[in-house]
Amino acid sequence: MSENEASVRPESISHREHHTSAQPEFVFTCDACQHQIEVDDSVAAAIVRHGCPICGIRATTACLRRVADTPPPDH
């Protein structure tokens, strides 16, 4: 490993750990396909901007509920 790679790698690992450790804040439920996923605030914002990650249908903030306010799904 070069000196340059060694200096870049710890930062990227730290950055990844910071972003993957985010706790879900919202439950997104698509009105069209009924897909339901737990997401953090940045993913929720992306879904509202770009639509459902499964079917692509436009999503609104009404499709998002706080995790604490959402009962677990029926199995």
pLDDT digits (tens, 9 = 90+) for 45-66: 999 999 999 999 999 999 999 9
Give start and end residues of each alpha helix (H) in 21-59: 41-50
**Does residue 39 register a pLDDT over 70?**
yes
Question: Is the alpha carbon torsion for 32, 37, 38, 43 positive or negative?
Answer: negative
Classify each residue of 6-36 as buried b or exposed e, where b means 16 or more C-beta atoms within 10 Å of its C-beta. eeeeeeeeeeeeeeeeeeebbbbbbeeeeee
User: Is the whole model's pTM more than 0.85, yes or no?
Assistant: no
